Amino acid sequence: MRDFVLETAGKLRSGAVTSVALTRRYIQAIEQKNEALGAYVHPMFDSALQAAEQADERLKRGDAPLLCGIPMTLKDNICTKGALTTCCSRMLEGYVPFYNATVWEKLQREGAVLLGKTNMDEFAMGSACETGCYGPARNPVDPTRVPGGSSGGGAAAVGADLAVYAIGSDTGGSIRQPASFCGLVGLKPTYGAVSRYGLIAYGSSLDQIGPITHSVRDAAAVYDALFGADSRDGTSEQAPYADTLSAITGEVKGLKVGVAKEYFEGLSGAVREGVETAVDAYRKMGAEIVSLSLPALQLALPAYYIIACAEASSNLGRYDGIRYGKRADSYRDVNDMIAKTRTERFGKEVQRRIMLGTYVLSSGYYDAYYKKACALRSVIRAQFAACFTACDVLLAPTAPTTAFRLGYTAQNPIETYLSDVCTVPVNVAGLPAVSLPCGRDPEGLPIGMQLIGGVFDEPKILNAAYAYECFAAGQGNAEGGVA
């Protein structure tokens, strides 16, 4: 697997290419391919070229950080001062923030070149990148398939080589599942590892920002730039800094890899085979495989939807056409204005989740749903913690299937929600997880597996992921499969 970020950084440093030339090349590719792919919703070519010029000056001076001059993307729910940030919703049509998200501030300091904002499910609610107001994004591996969601635009951009890396957000798998569907690496960091300041909130106790890249080492390099406490995000943690990229050696001899049987229920045959082959690969690399059980996993999905929708109904209450949101054109009075604004400008999936959130928080149902889901969250956390006394990392599939066809998800909400079954437990527990490719199904679609660690175990999971990446490449398959 090629380290696109690290290779590009090397070329920029050696002078083999300039950031301006590279950025122009990416702009040209976006102009050619984006209409068919729908990866970008707000291209930012002029500012990208300006940033590239500044990056070239820093590179010439020799004081440029690792990510300086590298063209990249941000998901459309990450605030960028002076540039459209719409969450792919008609509600935020024309919204231009007057402040930057902390992650974007950090990347700007690194000298990152932002090519544009990428497509997503509206307000990050979806698993297919189909619910946004700008239309669907498509999977670069097979354009008749979805790229996954909600950070599908970022994954499509990286997969089609329309950006070197993408920054997404993961509330219930929105980085890992698109990475899996597009044959990429996606890291969901520990809750609190990366500041959420400037990330437009969906489920505040679940949301986390992270990278989508071509390789594990690339993901580590970008994560190192994003990591860190932020006084503007009270939930960000003062964890000791560990240089993740340097910590990656690929050595996994003696590592205890846990495999929980509950993760393997309801998988497609190809996914099961792909992930079981990866388990064998770890055995061959000298890791110890530990069989485990996480019974609460079966309840993580309903608990997740209760908590996420409850938080969404509260977070999205601000979109009333007064405080936030583009107001309805005509209305009778202020109540009519608020209802019309919200009904006309929120999409159907967003409205459905607001309704569910309102229901589980309403008098008479709060104890039965929300309070129990929160209690269950503690049980899930405790079961994960117990697992990590018996193993170092957990290995699981990222999604029960490979990428599905465009339009398929719109038919049945529960079936759509079930596609998140493997990813949501990690968000409920606040743990880090990295998804990486582990082969292809008979139709040539990528299969993804995830490595899950304890709180702030990013170096450990990325090291284990890198070991597999090297092993797969050694078997002659750069796309992760070892079969």
Site for other proteins in 162-201 (CB under 8 A): 191-192
Cα 208 from Cα 206, distance rounded (Å): 7
Q: Which is nearer to other proteins, 288 or 320 (CB)?
A: 320
- Of positions 333, 411, 442, 476, contacts other proteins by CB under 8 A: 333
305 binds other proteins, rule: CB under 8 A: yes
- Of positions 17, 375, 385, 390, contacts other proteins by CB under 8 A: 375
CB of 129 to other proteins, least distance (A): 21
The per-residue DSSP string of 3-41 comes to -HHHHHHHHHHHTSS-HHHHHHHHHHHHHHHHHHH--EE
Residue with structure tokens 């209409």?
Answer: 35
Overall residue count recorded for the chain in this entry: 483
Strands of the sheet containing 256-260, edge to edge, are 40-43, 113-118, 71-75, 165-169, 209-213, 185-188, 433-440, 446-452, 393-397, 256-260, 288-292
Helix, strand, coil shares of the chain, percent, nearest 5, are 45, 15, 40
337 binds other proteins, rule: CB under 8 A: yes
* Catalytic (active site) residue 81: no
CB of 95 to other proteins, least distance (A): 7
Site for other proteins in 438-457 (CB under 8 A): 455
What does each C-alpha distance from 29 to 9, 111, 133, 298 come to in angstroms?
20, 22, 23, 43
- Of positions 43, 172, 430, 446, contacts other proteins by CB under 8 A: 430
312 binds other proteins, rule: CB under 8 A: no
Alpha helices per DSSP H over 74-193: 102-110, 152-159, 176-181
Q: Which is nearer to other proteins, 151 or 313 (CB)?
A: 313
Q: Which is nearer to other proteins, 45 or 331 (CB)?
A: 331
Catalytic site residue from 19, 33, 75, 127: 75
> For other proteins, how many residues bind (rule: CB under 8 A)?
66
Catalytic site residue from 89, 151, 169, 174: 174
Are 133 and 42 contacting, i.e. CB atoms less than 8 angstroms apart? no
Site for other proteins in 92-151 (CB under 8 A): 95-99
As given in the structure block, the two tokens for residue 101 are 């998200």
Of the listed pieces 47-55, 112-120, 266-274, 413-421, which binds other proteins according to CB under 8 A?
413-421
As given in the structure block, the two tokens for residue 166 are 């993408």
Of the listed pieces 9-17, 368-376, 384-392, 464-472, which binds other proteins according to CB under 8 A?
368-376
Cα 39 from Cα 118, distance rounded (Å): 6
CB of 348 to other proteins, least distance (A): 8
385 binds other proteins, rule: CB under 8 A: no
Are 293 and 387 contacting, i.e. CB atoms less than 8 angstroms apart? no
Of the listed pieces 65-73, 172-180, 291-299, 444-452, which binds other proteins according to CB under 8 A?
291-299
CA-wise closest residue to 119 among 83, 143, 145, 155: 155
Cα 289 from Cα 304, distance rounded (Å): 28
CB of 257 to other proteins, least distance (A): 25
- Of positions 225, 275, 354, 436, contacts other proteins by CB under 8 A: 354
231 binds other proteins, rule: CB under 8 A: yes
343 binds other proteins, rule: CB under 8 A: yes
Q: What are phi and psi of 41, to 5 degrees?
A: -110, -25
Cα 277 from Cα 436, distance rounded (Å): 14
Q: Which is nearer to other proteins, 69 or 192 (CB)?
A: 192
CB of 428 to other proteins, least distance (A): 9
374 binds other proteins, rule: CB under 8 A: yes
Question: Quick count: other Cβ atoms within 10 Å of Cβ 231?
Answer: 9
* Catalytic (active site) residue 117: no
Site for other proteins in 204-223 (CB under 8 A): 205
Within 8 A by CB and 6+ apart from 31, the residues are none
Cα 299 from Cα 332, distance rounded (Å): 44
- Interface residue list for other proteins (CB under 8 A): 95-99, 191-192, 205, 231, 234-235, 237-238, 296, 298-299, 302-303, 305-307, 313, 317, 320, 322, 327, 331-334, 337-340, 342-343, 346, 351-352, 354-360, 362, 367-369, 371-379, 381, 413-414, 417, 429-430, 455
Q: Any idea which residues carry the catalytic annotation?
A: 75, 150, 174
